[in-house]
Amino acid sequence: MSRWAVERTYELIGVPIRIASDVPDLEPLLERVCRDLTPTDRSPVVTISIRSEPEGFRAWVDETMRSDVLAFDQSFMKAMSLLHEQTMEHCGLWAVHAGVVSRRGLVVAMPGKSGAGKSTLVATCVSAGWDYVSDEALAFDDETMEVVPYPKPIWIDRRATELVGLPRQALPVTPSRYKYPVTPSDLGGTVAEGPLHLKAVVVPERDPAADGIEQVPLRRAELVTILLRHTFKRSRDSEAKFDRAVRVARRIDGLRLRFSHAKDAVEVLDGVLSTYGS
Amino acid sequence: MKIGPPAPHVRVEEVDGDLVLFDTERHQVYELNPTAGDIWRLATGEFDEQEMITLLARAYGVEPETIAADVTRVIADLRERGLLQPAAS
C-alpha cells in the first residue's frame, strides 16, 4: 500500500515525475494548478513530496529534505519549484529559460531576465489566442527545430492578473511571494499541440516609461549569446551547446522588443509570425 | 608590445559576418560588435596597439585619434577576460 494519500505522475518534456503527499489537501491543488500537465503511467525518475510534520509541512525530493517547515500552500509552491528544477535536471533536450507561445505550429520564444515581462507577455499572448507552450523553458531538438511543450502554470503577479483580465476568484491558491499560478485554461487558452517549430526569438524588455513600442532586429551573433546565456545547465557540455547555438541562430530570426504595455507587444508578435505564412 | 594571439581555450565562430567567442574554460560566450570583431581579427600577435589603430583608421577612413580610445578599451577588455594570450614584448 502506498505511503501517500495523493500521488500523481506527470510527464514533463519526456521526464516522468511524481508529486505526492501524505495529506489529501494536495489533490484539489493538483487538479486545479496542474490540469494542463500530461499524466503518465510511466515509472517516475524522481518523487517530489509534501510531508506533514507536527509544526507544518516540508517539501522533499526523494529522500532529500528540500525546505524548511512551511504552511501547506507555501510547501506546495516549493514543490512546484522543485518540479521545474527536476524537469530541467533530467530533461534530455536543450532547454532555454524563456516564455514560449505558438500559432499555427510556429513558435516564438521569449528569453529574458526575471522581471523583463516574460510571464505577463506569455499570459497576454494566450489571452489573445496564441497557444501556450511554456512559461519557463524552450525545450527543443536543435536538429529538427521541433519544440516540446512544457505547460507548467504561468506565474504572474496580482497586477499582471488584472492586466490579462483574470477575475480574482479564478486565482487558485494563496499567493506565494506575490505570484499566482495561472493555467492557460484560466486565460481562455489552450496548450499547443501537434508539430511545433521554432521560428523566432524575441527578447522582451518591459519599460513602464517607454513611449509606445520599440523593436530592434537582433544580429545572429547576438542570438548565439542570448540562447547560451539563458540555457539551463549551461556548463554541462558547454562547447557542444555553443556549436548548437551557432547552428540554431543561423536558422531563426531575432528581435528585441521594448514595450510598456504587453498588449502592444502582442500585436508586434502577431506581425512577426505573419511573415512566415503557415 | 604585440597584441594577441587569442588564448588557446577560446573558440571563434563567424555568424553573418559577426564574431562570437566562446571561452571553453569559463563557459562564457561573447558576441563582438563589428569594430571589436575587426580588432580581434588583428589580434594575431603580429601588431602592437598603435599599428592596429593605424590599420583600422585606414580601413574606416578616419583619423587614428578618432578610434584610438575605443581600440585601447576593447583590447584591455579582451585581455581582462583572458581571451588574449598574455602580452609579449
Q: Looking at residue A192, what is its pLDDT?
A: 96
- B29·A245 Cβ contact <8 A: yes
Percentage of residues of chain B with pLDDT beyond 70: 97
Calculate the average pLDDT of chain A: 90
In chain A, which segments carry CATH 3.40.50?
A: 94-274
pLDDT of residue A2: 76
pLDDT digits 0-9 by tens, B7-48: 999 999 999 999 999 999 999 999 999 999 999 999 999 999
pTM: 0.89
pLDDT at residue number B4: 87
pLDDT score, position A199: 95
> Phi and psi of A130, rounded to 5°?
-75, 155
Q: What percent of chain A has pLDDT over 70?
A: 94
- Give the nearest chain B residue to A247 (CA atoms): B15
Of B19, B24, B27, the CB nearest to A221: B19
Q: Is the pLDDT of residue A175 over 60?
A: no
CA distances, A8 to each of A42, A180, A191 (Å): 11, 22, 20
Chain B residues closer than 8 Å to A235 by CB: 27
Confidence band of A235 (pLDDT split at 50, 70, 90): confident
* Range of lowest pLDDT (A140-144, A164-168, A234-238, A273-277): A164-168
C-alpha to C-alpha distance for A141 and A127, rounded to whole angstroms:
27
Alpha carbon distance A42, A10 (integer Å) = 9
User: A201 pLDDT band (50/70/90 cuts)?
Assistant: very high
Query: Would you call A220 an interface residue with chain B, using a CB distance cutoff of 8 Å?
Result: yes
Spatial strand order in the sheet of B28-31: B10-15, B18-23, B28-31
On whether any CB of chain B is under 8 Å from the CB of A224, the answer is: yes
The three cell numbers locating residue A179: 505570484
Q: Do A224 and B31 touch (CB under 8 A)?
A: yes
- Asked if A38 reaches chain B (Cβ–Cβ under 8 Å), the answer is no
Report the CATH number of the B10-80 domain: 1.10.10.1150
Q: Which residue has the cell 479564478?
A: A170
Q: Which pLDDT does position A273 carry in this prediction?
A: 85
Of the candidates A221, A235, A250, the beta carbon closest to that of B31 is on A221
Question: Between chains, do A238 and B27 touch, taking CB under 8 Å as contact?
Answer: yes
| Residue A201 contacts B, CB cutoff 8 Å | no
Calculate the average pLDDT of chain B. 93
Tell me: the pLDDT tens digits for A96-130? 999 999 999 999 999 987 777 888 899 999 999 99
The rounded distance, in Å, linking the Cα atoms of A46 and A10 is 11
pLDDT over 90 percentage in chain A: 67
pLDDT on residue B83: 97
Instruction: Render pLDDT for B42-88 as a digit per residue (tens, 0 to 9).
Output: 999 999 999 999 999 999 999 999 999 999 999 999 999 999 998 65
Q: Which of A207, A194, A199, A203 is nearest to A276 (CA)?
A: A199
Name, in order, each residue with C-beta under 8 angstroms of B76's C-beta and a sequence gap of 6 or more.
Answer: none
Class of domain A94-274: alpha beta
A264: which 3 cell numbers? 502592444
Cβ–Cβ of B15/A246 closer than 8 Å? Answer: yes
Domain residue spans of chain B: 10-80
**B45-71 burial, b if ≥16 CB within 10 A, otherwise e?**
eebebeebbebbbeeeeeeeeebbeeb
Rounded mean pLDDT, A260-275: 89
Q: What is the pLDDT of residues A19-67, one digit of tens each?
A: 999 999 999 889 888 989 999 999 999 999 999 999 999 999 999 999 9
pLDDT band (50, 70, 90) for residue A1? low
Q: Which residues of A touch B24 (CB under 8 A)?
A: 238-239
Of B15, B24, B29, the CB nearest to A228: B29
pLDDT of residue A278: 57
